[in-house]
Amino acid sequence: MEYRYLGNSGLKISEIAYGNWLTHGSQVEADAATACVQAALDAGISTFDTADAYANTRAESVLGEALKGERRESLEILTKVYWPTGPRGHNDSGLSAKHIRESIDASLRRLQTDHVDVYQAHRFDTETPLEETMQAFADVVRSGKAIYIGVSEWTADQLRRGRALADELGFRLISNQPQYSMLHRVIEEEVVPVSRAIGLSQIVWSPIAQGVLTGKYRPGEQLPEGSRAAHQHVGQSISGRVGDEGLLEAVQGLQPIAQDHGLTMAQLAVAWVLQNENVSAAIIGASRPEQVQENVKASGVRLEPDVMTRIDEVLAGHIDSDPGLTAAQAPQERPS
């Protein structure tokens, strides 16, 4: 495992992080989740990413139990706040000072720790003044409940404004967590250059496009039994991609590239996002320990420019690169 600095801070994180969106507390049982966390630790992963909204708080609880007994100083634990939790009351979502204050305390209880290393705004809250949100984050840091602050899926302008306020308030805003993969590159034109300029880096989610880039979804074939796409609820989030026969056929064209480099297609996909110097970590999920053990082998892989060009050629016509999608896909009002 290799480690990278997060933003312009002194914090190092494992360049492959373990995340439990769509798995812990929903798709896999607690014993399997714990086995996956142990496999991640055994592989040298020190960075664990979760959120209060995952499985409506259950994912944090499962992760907290799985990490119990580990040396806290050897871990980087990240969680998030924004989406509705609990009974979904009128103050149970967003980035108000009230919701942030109550959410951090609840997250720490579930995670069985007295602080998180990075506390992240899971989206931008259009209904709360940014000054209120950033002051609340400053209070969280000053109270010792978080060391650093990050965000997720913020636009370039929102990152600029947030970093300026963080500097005024005396805390470190160091990261953004966007979706990023061979197929989804919307951060490259605006978010990444701005992040470099203001000292943020990316912790990216869905580097294998929720399994699409593994090649297991084949054109004209039934969805593999037990796969994420076949799951009754989880599969809804990728139904468009697994139903795109042209995309699935193009993805099969990555197989020879992976084989040429002694990689699985999943390893190739994870390695691809790590070629971006502004990416500090790629988040992987797993329902089986074997998936963790395989995907961590992408750490330290270097892909030459001609390989990156071959990948672009194979996927031509199937790549989302419009920088406007970050704003277009963001919630326009606080969810309830």
Q: How far apart are CA 261 and CA 256, in angstroms?
A: 9
Structure tokens at 100: 């942030």
16 within some domain = yes
276 within some domain = yes
What is the pLDDT, as a whole number, of residue 91?
94
333 within some domain = no
Rounded to an integer, what is the distance from CA 51 to the centroid of its chain?
A: 10
* Average pLDDT by stretches of 10, the chain with 336 residues: 97 97 66 92 98 94 95 98 93 97 98 98 98 98 98 98 98 97 98 98 96 86 55 49 86 97 97 98 94 96 97 97 96 91
Q: Which helix (H) or strand (E) holds 4?
A: strand 3-5
252 within some domain = yes
What is the pLDDT, as a whole number, of residue 25?
55
Tokens 């691809």 locate to 272
Q: How far apart are CA 252 and CA 227, in angstroms?
A: 17
The dihedrals phi and psi of 121, each to the nearest 5 degrees, come to -80, 110
Q: What is the pTM of this model?
A: 0.92
335 within some domain = no
What is the pLDDT, as a whole number, of residue 30?
78
29 within some domain = yes
Specify whether 5 is catalytic: no
What is the pLDDT, as a whole number, of residue 232?
43
Check which CATH number belongs to the domain holding 144 and give it.
3.20.20.100
Task: Exactly one of 3, 5, 18, 54 is catalytic; name it.
Answer: 54
292 within some domain = yes
- Number of structural domains (the chain) is 1
Domain of residue 23: give its range. 3-328
